[in-house]
Structure 1
Amino acid sequence: MSPRSSASGIPFASYVAIGDSFTEGVGDELADGRVRGWADFVALGMAAASEEPFRYANLAIRGRKLGPIVDEQVEPAIALRPDLVSLNGGGNDIMRPRVSIEGVARTLMDAADRVVASGSHMLLLSGANPSAHLPLGGLIRRRGEELAEAVRAMLPREGITFVDNWADQNLEDIRYWSADRLHLGPLGHARVASNVLTAFGIPVPTEWGVEEVAAAPPGERTRRTAEYYRRYVLPWIGRRLTGRSSGDGRAAKIAELTVVDPASARPL
Structure 2
Amino acid sequence: MSRDDRTPRYSRFVALGDSQTEGLNDGDDARGYRGWADRLAEHLAVVNPNLLYANLAVRGRLAHEVRAEQLSPALAQSPDLVTVMAGVNDLIRPGFDAAAVSGHIGHMLGSLADTGATVVTFTYPDPGRRLPAGRLLTARTRDFNDRIRAAAQRHGAVVADLSAHDVTSDPRLWSGDRLHLNALGHTRLAAAVAHALELPGSDAAWSEALPAQQELPAWRVAEAELRWVAGFVGPWLVRRMLGRSSGDGREAKRPTLGPVRLPASADEPVNIEP
TM-score (norm 1): 0.87
Number of corresponding residues: 259
RMSD, aligned CA:
2.7
In 1: Cα distance, 2:267 partner to 2:11 partner: 24
Q: Contact 2:36–2:186 (CA<8 Å) still a contact in 1?
A: yes
DSSP-derived class of the 1:119 partner? coil
Judged with a 3 Å threshold, the aligned counterparts in structure 2 of structure 1 residues 115 and 239 are, in CA distance, closer, same or farther, namely same
List aligned pairs for 1:66-105, cutoff 5 A: 66-105=63-102
Residue 259 of structure 1 aligns with an amino acid whose one-letter code is P
Q: What's 1:245 paired with?
A: 245
Deviates more, 1:125-134 or 1:90-99: 125-134
Judged with a 3 Å threshold, the aligned counterparts in structure 2 of structure 1 residues 146 and 127 are, in CA distance, closer, same or farther, namely same
In 2: Cα distance, 1:21 partner to 1:115 partner: 21
Q: What's 1:148 paired with?
A: 145
- TM-fit CA distance, 1:10: 4.0
Residue 232 of structure 1 aligns with an amino acid whose one-letter code is F
In 1: Cα distance, 2:249 partner to 2:89 partner: 18
Q: What's 2:13 paired with?
A: 15
Q: What's 1:217 paired with?
A: 212
Residue 211 of structure 2 aligns with an amino acid whose one-letter code is A
DSSP-derived class of the 1:45 partner? helix
- TM-fit CA distance, 1:15: 0.5
- TM-fit CA distance, 1:231: 1.1
- TM-fit CA distance, 1:211: 5.6
In 1: Cα distance, 2:214 partner to 2:17 partner: 29
Residue 252 of structure 2 aligns with an amino acid whose one-letter code is A
- TM-fit CA distance, 1:247: 0.3
Q: Contact 2:79–2:117 (CA<8 Å) still a contact in 1?
A: yes
Deviations 1:192-215 (A, max 9, x none): 111110111114579xxx669845
- TM-fit CA distance, 1:7: 9.4
Judged with a 3 Å threshold, the aligned counterparts in structure 2 of structure 1 residues 267 and 134 are, in CA distance, closer, same or farther, namely same
Deviations 1:216-253 (A, max 9, x none): 22575754432221111100000111110000011101
- TM-fit CA distance, 1:158: 4.9
Judged with a 3 Å threshold, the aligned counterparts in structure 2 of structure 1 residues 265 and 41 are, in CA distance, closer, same or farther, namely farther
DSSP-derived class of the 1:255 partner? strand
Matched, 1:168 2:159: no
Q: Contact 2:166–2:209 (CA<8 Å) still a contact in 1?
A: no
Q: Contact 1:20–1:61 (CA<8 Å) still a contact in 2?
A: yes
Q: What's 1:260 paired with?
A: 260
DSSP-derived class of the 1:250 partner? coil
List aligned pairs for 1:158-237, cutoff 5 A: 158-204=155-201, 214-218=209-213, 220=215, 222-223=221-222, 224-237=224-237
Q: What's 1:120 paired with?
A: 117
Residue 26 of structure 2 aligns with an amino acid whose one-letter code is D
- TM-fit CA distance, 1:262: 3.0
Q: Contact 1:175–1:219 (CA<8 Å) still a contact in 2?
A: no
Residue 153 of structure 2 aligns with an amino acid whose one-letter code is P
Q: Contact 1:28–1:185 (CA<8 Å) still a contact in 2?
A: yes
Deviations 1:43-94 (A, max 9, x none): 01111122x4111110100111101110000001111111111101110111
In 2: Cα distance, 1:203 partner to 1:215 partner: 24
DSSP-derived class of the 1:17 partner? strand
In 2: Cα distance, 1:259 partner to 1:30 partner: 22
- TM-fit CA distance, 1:133: 2.2
In 1: Cα distance, 2:185 partner to 2:65 partner: 25
Query: Where do 5+ consecutive residues of structure 1 fail to align?
Result: 1-5
Judged with a 3 Å threshold, the aligned counterparts in structure 2 of structure 1 residues 62 and 11 are, in CA distance, closer, same or farther, namely same
Percent sequence identity over matched residues?
34
Judged with a 3 Å threshold, the aligned counterparts in structure 2 of structure 1 residues 100 and 31 are, in CA distance, closer, same or farther, namely closer
Q: What's 2:54 paired with?
A: 57
Judged with a 3 Å threshold, the aligned counterparts in structure 2 of structure 1 residues 90 and 212 are, in CA distance, closer, same or farther, namely closer
TM-score (norm 2): 0.85
Deviations 1:138-184 (A, max 9, x none): 12222111100122234424541111112221111111000111111
Residue 24 of structure 1 aligns with an amino acid whose one-letter code is E
Q: What's 1:42 paired with?
A: 40
